[in-house]
Amino acid sequence: MAKSTPLTHFQTLTYSRRSTREFTDTSVAPEVIDEIIQDALTAPSWSNTRPYRVAVATGEVKDRISAKLLGRFDEIMLARSKKWTDRVKGFAKALSLLRSDFRIPVVYPEDLRRRQIDLAKALYGHLGVERSDVEGRNNFIRDNMRFFGAPVGLFFFARTGMGVYSALDAGHFMQTLMLAAKARGLDTCAQGFLAFWSKPIREEFDVPRGYKLLCGMSLGYAADSHINLFFPPATSGQELVLGAHERGGGEAPSPRDEVRVGP
Ligand SMILES: Cc1cc2nc3c(=O)[nH]c(=O)nc-3n(C[C@H](O)[C@H](O)[C@H](O)COP(=O)(O)O)c2cc1C
């Protein structure tokens, strides 16, 4: 960050948060987790509805979830490696296992795809995983499902019936939680990979009707390791700030956004 004036407290905190992908096994005291969640509730919310829930997985619960996610993932990988007749059967089985609550983006919109590719190239390059190294990439996904070794896994559920706005609120909550953790010397990684299957999490927690698994997160103390030295490609504010029209021109907005939440 290029800055000539001293950093504010906020800048020191927010620039120090990075997605952390290897944790020590040092446990996090339950009261610290409670405090972080309480702090995260300083996030704003649509009509103050708080349309989300969070599940905290530690110990055996976390290990069971991890084992089930890994099992499902490996089943898909096994299906891919078989001869085609078995493959078809394997894929059918794997597809029946693929049950995310929200649609996971597979093909990215054209204007965002570049950033996704740049991130993947930079991250796998940092890890020394070649583009052709399928097993290396799969191992990274497996590490995701092991919570990168973190002692705490969090799962965020968003209320249906609010369109995109419950997910928006959950995002405010998640980011505030990540900063609250950072302020206590703890690190995090938000993880879409932990939301590919909701059943293993639903089997452990009483998820109320109308709540869908949106995202997972690892929480713990960062390990002093190579992967945690990774910095993603930077985005400048200029890329995102819209220019103003001269007068009158511009595309008419589409009547409704195409973003779909829910299957
Ligand atoms: C909703 C969401 C889902 C994410 N899912 C994953 C994931 O499954 N695995 C992973 O390693 N990182 C995941 N990330 C981390 C992003 O890759 C990361 O935030 C981005 O590259 C910017 O890096 P930074 O968090 O270090 O600033 C996710 C982030 C968000 C916000």
Summarised one tens digit per residue, pLDDT across range 181-226 is 999 999 999 999 999 999 999 999 999 999 999 999 999 999 999 9
* 48 domain residue, yes or no: yes
* 64 domain residue, yes or no: yes
* 42 domain residue, yes or no: yes
pLDDT at 180 over 90: yes
Task: Look up the domain containing 116 and give its range.
Answer: 20-230
- Average pLDDT of the residues in 224-246: 95
Cβ(262)–Cβ(103) below 8 Å: yes
CA distances to 167, 222, 253 from 38, in Å: 19, 22, 39
Q: Residue 37 belongs to a domain with what CATH number?
A: 3.40.109.10
**Inter-helix orientation angle 165-183/30-40, to 10°:** 130
Domain count within the chain: 1
- Average pLDDT of the residues in 150-156: 99
Cβ(66)–Cβ(188) below 8 Å: no
pLDDT, tens only, 239-255: 999 999 876 656 666 66
* 247 domain residue, yes or no: no
* 11 domain residue, yes or no: no
* 1 domain residue, yes or no: no
Q: How far is 143 from 191, CA to CA, in rounded Å?
A: 11
Written as six digits, the tokens of 262 are 């829910």
pLDDT at 262 over 50: no
Q: How far is the CA of 63 from the centre of ligand 1 (A)?
A: 22
H/E stretch holding 157 reads strand 152-159
Q: How far is 167 from 160, CA to CA, in rounded Å?
A: 9
The pTM for the full model equals 0.91
Q: How far is the CA of 96 from the centre of ligand 1 (A)?
A: 27
* 4 domain residue, yes or no: no
Residue nearest to atom 25 of ligand 1 (CA): 19
Q: Which of 106, 121, 189 to probe ligand 1 with, by most ligand atoms within 8 A of CB? A: 189
